[in-house]
Amino acid sequence: MDRLRPSVESLVRGIEQGRCGLEPDVVHEFIWAMFDLNEGEKHRTAMAALLVLDGNLHMWERDASSALRSYQAIDQMVPSADSMLRIAGVFAVVHDYPKVIEALNIAMEREQRGGALTDELRQDYQIKIRRFETLAEENR
């Protein structure tokens, strides 16, 4: 997926700026048709990259519910800290702070299992979790 990320990001920017001539709805329809044909099983990383595009476009369109659907599909196909951070981002946008905290904890656990959780990264996660705990308390 990392090799596809620059292309996906470029396409999203092109759509956002109206340069590529594609309507977001056409892109969403195409991506989910590919997902259905693929049954989410073959070419998981390629499908995940397309779903990142789909989710990012939905976020640009301020459609958090549809973005969450895309990001959760990614997380089911290729569970990772990155996919969980995208999910946390959607929950942050809609101010569902307890779910942000849950997603950040899952992402941190995945980083740890993958051997990528440095002390600095753990500290960063803990700072973010504390911030969202504070926001959750303030919004009760």
* pTM: predicted TM-score of the whole model, two decimal places: 0.77
Break the chain into its structural domains and give their ranges: 1-78, 80-140
Alpha-carbon distances, residue 30 vs 22, 53, 66, 103, 114 (angstroms): 11, 11, 15, 28, 33
Task: For the chain, 140 residues long, give each residue's pLDDT as a single digit of tens.
Answer: 456 566 666 666 666 666 655 666 767 677 767 666 666 566 777 788 888 888 988 898 899 999 999 999 999 988 999 999 999 999 999 999 999 999 999 999 999 999 999 999 999 999 999 999 999 999 88
Question: What contacts 50, CB < 8 A, 6 or more positions away?
Answer: 8, 31, 34, 35
Alpha-carbon distance of 69 to 56, in angstroms, equals: 11
Rounded to 10 deg, the angle between the 44-60 and 81-93 helix axes is 20
